[in-house]
Structure 1
């Protein structure tokens, strides 16, 4: 097990430091630049949807050409490059070009509404934006006040600059990555918060070697895949880990489709797979799951929300021992706060605190709690965080004066130092005088035979308060009715405040955020629409 110590006086769990893998002053861009020069003919990237293949030499050349283009425009390290694009063939070269120049990119999800894109890009004011031609008009309208240059990655439209034009840019003589003006405390990227509690925030992440922590087993023979785009930490992590360790990346422009993703895992013999825990439920309840060969997978990193034990066990049955790694993190802390490397011994734990981090659980008064006591999950690292871009008020809510990040998640740490997540602090519901959390109901319904996935929430009643309700996805070929679910909960749960007083609806799939997480607000709205 990971080496973790516990300070019983302060009630803080800490992970011991591991030897540095790279020179401490090297930037992420410098590290990737040097690795891409080795074995130049080795395949670096395959696009499953665009049927393209790039060698390390080609990926490096494309990245240097785009970096040279940005230098020719006079972009400085204080400028921002915008991205709102799918995982197309050349988007990784855009990201590496930013790394090489010491310029932070700000990525938004291409599915975002025009008003959201306008608000967020108005905060960071990018000088240039890379998007797909599919969203060109939306991006143009959202940024008309910024006088920004727009580059399209595919499906080019009149008025846009094609990425192919940038790829013809002569490479600057004696090209080398820029030295970071502010060292490795400088921003590497600006990501998007999930937006589960309102407008997504612009989350800064720094040029830290923390990305490489607990990646000790990555080799140049590994093949990585994630459906995440560059606005999510997993999309950023894939590009950094593949670049720094020389692993091959498989990409796809398509939305997450469980059958298609399973086919990618088998066809390309993927060894490392990053995905949202909600997508695990979709895959195991896909008719293609049983006949898909997943034996190549040796590291599966999933997180971002709850996942039923039953679904995790089903996925575990298809992969080798040690492959399942439930993790816990936030974009704000840059890296993985906890990873479970011991699935078979600690099912449903999100793991122990990782290298460079400390962990504590606090009560509503801020007091640190001991083992097996439920409270808010807090992390701290020795890394600098610049905060939410342009939003000091929200930054101070997330990170306190002692540099602890407050997650808003409730959880507890067991006697072996493994963290378990209970629910979101803000999602606590109250029926008459009884407090409860949606996850309590979800975990019960998930055990019902024939249930593939579930999202629970409260429907307010003047008389009783928050009456529990649920949206349920049934497994293919099963015959489950809404009343069956209501009765199952009544029969298996004595506490009446957890009964589904507001009802149930059966749907084909849950409403999800672009990163695959369950969108509780959207599922509740869908429930109310159908019920009314």
Structure 2
């Protein structure tokens, strides 16, 4: 397997115009599921600490995690969870027994559909309507949000953290007895079976259920990990990075460090110092928070050997500042991936020399750069990135049309990202081809907010765009054209959106402006980039005159 203590290698075929990562052979039989692999790993060194929950002050050994997961698996089996269509819904934060629930699903070959707790109720309902889980698992604070959804689906709720009177609790499962000869079930071509279902969005912004297979690529690109590593990721299991951390901890037997709280620079520094974190994967915005925190100190981060970040752009000055807090080069790494591929695609070990790149391709990954004429182009030429991982993908659950749009008949994923490879075979991401934006780690689409603003009777036209900063991401801002003789101001627009959108990341965190017209292209289509440029220019003039 690929040793990521060395910089990944990437080759280029000039005739085919295809870049390729190193060819790697898996150690594992294709009939094994990842659950079976983890089951075997957890049997070794049973008294060794496997998971530490920061804040809950709980510690579980490998033996305890194994037995808890096996009990969840036995419960599912007793309830008749035998097929890939027997799905467990999951909406939870990182608490003590979340991993046991997830591993139990993996042991049994039962896919779990993980959804972020911050999503709006109607979006959660839409996603669960797609997969139709037989059970929804959540934390006590989210019970009321899910009760109506579960009732409509005619399914029970299981509480993972906290308690609700009269509602099934995971403790009831963990108190059950277990036979000493328990083993996960066997499957033919377990590698192709659906392991988990995460959430993504397409060009229309409609959420989709992304299937993740038992492909070895989700963990084999991290084969440098071992039982002496202490892993941490703030992501919950609905994010690919959260799933990668869950799987790699189980496969390589690392210590899994979790926290229910959202990422905070001070908390991360404290955990690094107290628990000696050696491997962490965070968002690009978290790097900015760490680099700019007055509390950050070299001594607190001395245990880190691998600090990966993904999911956005980071300023070169910020990377240089973050690098100064680390004990050597090659620790700070920029990773690029996509949920549909179920893995990291590339990783940059040289952020100190190529700070604007996302690195070279990982093992068994191939990539093409395709221009607007759908012709593959060579080095230093911009185009949409097509990616091929050579693995089976079951597509978007219940959505064959969207699946065909994402992956063509030859198996190439059309990523929607614009980028290029330089002369050293390093990948550079320029921008999203799609309009998707991300704020505070959550994805949204401008048109969702535009549709809300358009409900105002005074509004004639509206254009929403993102104003990026490295700490928070793309803050939504709006330029609004009022109807003739209508009276409206920016504060009214901001308040209107705030009253009708219940989640912070979709509100007008970048503000609003009232303008006489929107910039448009020759065909009459609103030019979002030109509108944004005018907005920023006006904002700058206002700051200078204040």
Range of TM-score over shorter length: 0.7 to 0.9
**Does 2:337 align with 1:329?**
yes
**Does 2:70 align with 1:64?**
yes
Determine the structure 2 residue equivalent to 1:298.
Answer: 305
- Once the two structures are superposed, residues 172-214 of structure 1 have per-residue CA deviations (whole angstroms, 9 ceiling, x without a partner) of 4521111125531110000112689623211000011112332
Residue 68 of structure 1 contacts residue 172 of structure 1 at CA under 8 Å; is this kept in 2? no
Give 1:406's match in structure 2, choosing from 414, 427, 437: 414
Residues 50 and 159 of structure 1: CA distance in aligned 2, closer, same or farther (over 3 Å)? same
Determine the structure 1 residue equivalent to 2:387.
Answer: 379
Determine the structure 2 residue equivalent to 1:318.
Answer: 325
- Once the two structures are superposed, residues 430-477 of structure 1 have per-residue CA deviations (whole angstroms, 9 ceiling, x without a partner) of xxxxxxxx99x96xx87xxxxx67747886688xxxxxxxxxxxxxxx
Determine the structure 1 residue equivalent to 2:262.
Answer: 255
Structure 1 CA distance for aligned equivalents of residues 370 and 256 of structure 2: 39
Residue 44 of structure 1 contacts residue 56 of structure 1 at CA under 8 Å; is this kept in 2? yes
The CA RMSD measured in Å over matched residues stands at 2.8
Structure 1 CA distance for aligned equivalents of residues 219 and 257 of structure 2: 20
Determine the structure 2 residue equivalent to 1:130.
Answer: 137
Give 1:77's match in structure 2, choosing from 71, 75, 83: 83
Which residues in structure 2 correspond to 1:114-125 (within 5 Å)? 114-125=121-132
Determine the structure 1 residue equivalent to 2:455.
Answer: none
Residues 398 and 204 of structure 1: CA distance in aligned 2, closer, same or farther (over 3 Å)? same
**Does 2:425 align with 1:417?**
yes
Shift of 1:60: 0.4
Q: Secondary structure at the match of 1:30?
A: helix
Q: Secondary structure at the match of 1:288?
A: coil
Residues 183 and 497 of structure 1: CA distance in aligned 2, closer, same or farther (over 3 Å)? closer
Residue 92 of structure 2 contacts residue 138 of structure 2 at CA under 8 Å; is this kept in 1? yes
Shift of 1:394: 1.2
- Once the two structures are superposed, residues 314-358 of structure 1 have per-residue CA deviations (whole angstroms, 9 ceiling, x without a partner) of 111111221111011101011111111222232221011111110
**Does 2:20 align with 1:14?**
yes
Determine the structure 1 residue equivalent to 2:294.
Answer: 287
What is the total number of aligned residue pairs between the two structures? 461
Shift of 1:171: 1.6
Determine the structure 1 residue equivalent to 2:405.
Answer: 397
Residue 263 of structure 1 contacts residue 292 of structure 1 at CA under 8 Å; is this kept in 2? no
Q: Secondary structure at the match of 1:329?
A: strand
Determine the structure 1 residue equivalent to 2:33.
Answer: 27
- Once the two structures are superposed, residues 403-432 of structure 1 have per-residue CA deviations (whole angstroms, 9 ceiling, x without a partner) of 11111111110011110111111349xxxx
Q: Which deviates the most, 49-58 or 210-219? A: 210-219
**Does 2:2 align with 1:2?**
no
Q: Secondary structure at the match of 1:287?
A: coil
Shift of 1:300: 1.3
Shift of 1:250: 0.3
Structure 2 unmatched runs, 5+: 1-6, 437-464, 482-510, 512-528, 540-546
Q: Secondary structure at the match of 2:158?
A: strand
Structure 2 CA distance for aligned equivalents of residues 171 and 195 of structure 1: 43
Residue 319 of structure 2 contacts residue 352 of structure 2 at CA under 8 Å; is this kept in 1? no
Residues 457 and 87 of structure 1: CA distance in aligned 2, closer, same or farther (over 3 Å)? closer
Which residues in structure 2 correspond to 1:225-240 (within 5 Å)? 225-240=232-247
Determine the structure 1 residue equivalent to 2:358.
Answer: 350
Residue 108 of structure 1 contacts residue 192 of structure 1 at CA under 8 Å; is this kept in 2? yes
Shift of 1:309: 1.3
Structure 2 CA distance for aligned equivalents of residues 141 and 282 of structure 1: 38
Structure 2 CA distance for aligned equivalents of residues 312 and 505 of structure 1: 30
**Does 2:535 align with 1:502?**
yes
Structure 1 CA distance for aligned equivalents of residues 203 and 350 of structure 2: 30
Residue 46 of structure 1 contacts residue 52 of structure 1 at CA under 8 Å; is this kept in 2? yes
Q: Secondary structure at the match of 2:73?
A: helix
Structure 1 CA distance for aligned equivalents of residues 531 and 317 of structure 2: 21
Residue 479 of structure 2 contacts residue 531 of structure 2 at CA under 8 Å; is this kept in 1? no
Structure 2 CA distance for aligned equivalents of residues 126 and 283 of structure 1: 39
Structure 1 CA distance for aligned equivalents of residues 478 and 173 of structure 2: 53
Residue 276 of structure 1 contacts residue 303 of structure 1 at CA under 8 Å; is this kept in 2? yes
Shift of 1:253: 0.7
Output the TM-score relative to the length of structure 1. 0.81
Shift of 1:21: 3.7
Residue 50 of structure 2 contacts residue 253 of structure 2 at CA under 8 Å; is this kept in 1? yes
Residue 357 of structure 2 contacts residue 429 of structure 2 at CA under 8 Å; is this kept in 1? yes
Residue 338 of structure 1 contacts residue 354 of structure 1 at CA under 8 Å; is this kept in 2? yes
Structure 2 CA distance for aligned equivalents of residues 365 and 457 of structure 1: 32
Give 2:94's match in structure 1, choosing from 87, 108, 125: 87
Q: Secondary structure at the match of 1:426?
A: coil
Which residues in structure 2 correspond to 1:145-156 (within 5 Å)? 145-156=152-163
Determine the structure 2 residue equivalent to 1:163.
Answer: 170
Structure 1 unmatched runs, 5+: 429-437, 447-451, 463-481, 483-495, 507-532
Structure 2 CA distance for aligned equivalents of residues 499 and 159 of structure 1: 52
Structure 2 CA distance for aligned equivalents of residues 195 and 135 of structure 1: 27
Q: Secondary structure at the match of 2:374?
A: coil
Residue 115 of structure 1 contacts residue 142 of structure 1 at CA under 8 Å; is this kept in 2? no
Structure 2 CA distance for aligned equivalents of residues 30 and 295 of structure 1: 35
Q: Secondary structure at the match of 2:77?
A: helix
